[in-house]
Amino acid sequence: MCLFCAEHITWVDYKDTNVLRRFMTDRGKIKSRSSAGTCAQHQRDVALAIKTARELAMLPYVVRTLAADKAGGRRGRGPGRPGGPGRPPGAEGLGSGAGGEADAASNEDGAGGVNVDAALV
């Protein structure tokens, strides 16, 4: 049953962001009518209210997530990954090949950054 029909709400308020967030995914997309549970008319009203609230900077267009927050994804072994297909065995510690001198120069201090003394010489 539609939330708005059940409560006899005739107008979806674009300023009520707490209600509108219920009809958005965690990434900021508008949920479909089947997953939101609204009737056709109220789904159109909700979509229009969300778009209006986005224009007025009350709701975000997109919610960024960090790569560490994702479950699964592009982790593990694959092309271009250490030990994955396309790399010879034992090539985990090797650089890209073309920047061999730059890799060696940047790792002189042991912390992965550029050694200040080596850069001044």
Question: Comparing 8 with 70, which gets the higher pLDDT?
Answer: 8
Quote the CA–CA distance of 77 and 84 in Å, as a whole number: 5
Structure tokens that stand for 19 in this block? 């209600």
Q: Provide the pLDDT for residue 1.
A: 85
The pLDDT of 7-11, averaged and rounded, is: 92
Q: Which of 27, 70, 63, 29 is nearest to 46 (CA)?
A: 29
First to last CA, the chain: 74
Per-residue pLDDT tens over the stretch 48-65: 999 999 999 999 999 888
pLDDT band at 67 (very low <50, low <70, confident <90, very high): confident
The fold for domain 3-55 equals 30s Ribosomal Protein S18 (4.10.640)
Per-residue pLDDT tens over the stretch 11-52: 999 999 999 999 999 999 999 999 999 999 999 999 999 999
Q: Provide the pLDDT for residue 84.
A: 55
